[in-house]
Homo-oligomer: A and B are copies of this chain.
Amino acid sequence: MPYVNIKITKEGVSKEQKEALIKGTTQLLVDVLDKSPATTFVVIDEVDTDNWGIGFEQVTEIRKAAKK
């Protein structure tokens, strides 16, 4: 009965990509720990790039700098 929470930045992740994350994570828990898929939850949180910081910087600013 695992619960997996995936936090990623909100940058145009498609429904199909979310499905791939859900399927892949669930399969991993089946393969590694023999968990039951019926009670395996995967919850994806998409976080605004203003709200995620790394190395003192907002991801919004990191993305801007990367484009220059």
Q: Which residues of A approach B to under 8 Å, CB–CB?
A: 1-9, 13, 15, 17-29, 31-33, 35, 37-47, 50-60
Contact = CB atoms under 8 A, between A and B. Distances in A.
Number of copies: 6
Contacts of A24: 24, 28, 31-32
Given A44-B51, A53-B22, A53-B26, A7 B17 contact: no
A16 to B, nearest CB: 9
A47 B6 CA distance: 12
A42 B52 contact: yes
Give the most central of A47, A53, A60: most B CB within 10 Å. Answer: A53
B28 A53 contact: no
